[in-house]
């Protein structure tokens, strides 16, 4: 544990393979991210409070919790986009890729094709970009403008960009917001396929029912960890506030959370 107010991100980490009590992976699974007592405060407001956990190769982690629980802040801290107030995050050297909602960061770049978006992940290699697009069944859209695609198609392209970068870990923040139900099902099936191929996935979502059917591990966050374990043992009545349980299917349409 780091001394108080001595926050840091350490890269790379040692090969420590500690497991939380809720994890079912064997101790030989490679520890990719080791979070120890991580805290983020904005002034007097604590956004995440002394989080400690490890994320191992091949996991599919569903990160859930009410608005303002600190989910997005936690992802940003792991990615080095948010400074810790105290604690540490140790990274193994794995390649990480972050996919926000609907790939909207590319819509303002005019003009940019689907192929050009994916090439951003592989130092401009057209061959590698086309191969990645083919792996997510989007090769036929290579010459189209990115902002002409549907939301579901855009997210598949951003997955292709992550694959082109040889990502070991893919972080997704509410990836199906604004996407129709059929596209959601196809997108989640793609994520499951990638996880089965050994890619580690960490996904923030308000789609609790879907998360519980997809993931290998659930982390329920409400500034601190209130549940960390297998999805089949997660009880919404116990771990989520009543108002959140009643509205979890609808909340993703009204996320708007500054400190998700």
* Closest listed residue to residue 70, CA positions, set 92, 85, 54, 55: 85
Residue among 11, 23, 34 nearest 87 (CA): 34
Given this model, what pLDDT does residue 250 score?
44
pLDDT digits (tens, 9 = 90+) for 107-121: 555 578 999 999 999
Domain chopping of the chain, boundaries: 102-167
User: Do the Cβ atoms of 52 and 77 come closer than 8 Å?
Assistant: no
Q: How many CB atoms lie within 10 A of CB 17?
A: 15
Q: What per-residue confidence (pLDDT) applies to 67?
A: 84
Q: Buried b / exposed e across 99-110, counting CB within 10 Å, b at 16+?
A: bbbbbeebeeee
Give me the pLDDT at residue 117, please: 92
Among candidate residues 6, 147, 17, the one with its CA nearest the CA of residue 88: 6
Q: Which residues contact 79 (CB under 8 A, 6 or more apart)?
A: 96, 98, 171
Q: Establish whether the linkage from the previous residue to 216 is cis, with ω within 30° of 0.
A: no
For residues 11 and 174, which has the higher predicted lDDT (pLDDT)?
A: 174
Nearest alpha carbon to residue 34 among 49, 48, 17 = 17
**Residue 8: per-residue pLDDT:** 52
Instruction: Please compute, for residue 9, the number of CA atoms within 13 A of its CA located in the half-sphere on the CB side.
Output: 16
Q: Are 196 and 150 in contact (CB under 8 A)?
A: no
Strands (E), the chain: 8-10, 31-42, 45-56, 60-64, 86-91, 96-99, 169-173, 200-204, 217-222, 224-229
Please state the rounded mean pLDDT for residues 11-40.
62
pLDDT bin (cut points 50, 70, 90) of residue 54 is very high
Give 242-246's long-range contacts (Cβ < 8 A, gap of 24+): 244/66, 245/208
> Residues 198, 33, 24, 39: is their CA dihedral positive or negative?
negative
pLDDT at 83: 94
């Amino acid at each position: 544990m780091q001394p108080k107010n001595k926050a840091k991100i350490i890269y790379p980490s040692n090969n420590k393979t500690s497991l939380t009590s809720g994890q079912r992976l064997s101790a030989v699974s490679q520890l990719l991210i080791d979070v120890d007592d991580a805290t983020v405060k904005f002034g007097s407001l604590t956004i995440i409070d002394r989080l400690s956990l490890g994320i191992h190769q091949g996991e599919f982690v569903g990160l859930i919790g009410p608005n303002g629980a600190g989910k997005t802040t936690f992802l940003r801290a792991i990615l080095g986009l948010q400074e810790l107030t105290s604690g540490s995050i140790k990274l193994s050297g794995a390649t990480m890729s972050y996919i926000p909602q609907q790939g909207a960061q590319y819509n303002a770049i005019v003009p940019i094709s689907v192929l050009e978006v994916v090439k951003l992940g592989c130092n401009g290699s057209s061959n590698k970009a086309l191969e990645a697009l083919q792996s997510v069944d989007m090769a036929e859209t290579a010459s189209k403008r990115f902002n002409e695609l549907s939301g579901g198609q855009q997210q598949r392209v951003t997955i292709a960009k992550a694959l082109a970068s040889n990502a070991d870990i893919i972080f997704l923040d509410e990836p199906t917001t604004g996407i129709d139900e059929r596209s959601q099902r196809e997108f989640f099936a793609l994520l499951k396929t990638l996880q089965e191929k050994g890619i580690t996935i960490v996904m923030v979502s308000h789609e609790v029912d879907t998360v519980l059917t997809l993931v290998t591990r659930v982390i329920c966050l409400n500034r601190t960890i209130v549940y960390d374990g297998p999805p089949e043992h997660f009880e919404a009545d116990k771990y989520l506030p009543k108002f959140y349980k009643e509205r979890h299917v609808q909340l993703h349409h009204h996320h708007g959370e500054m400190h998700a």
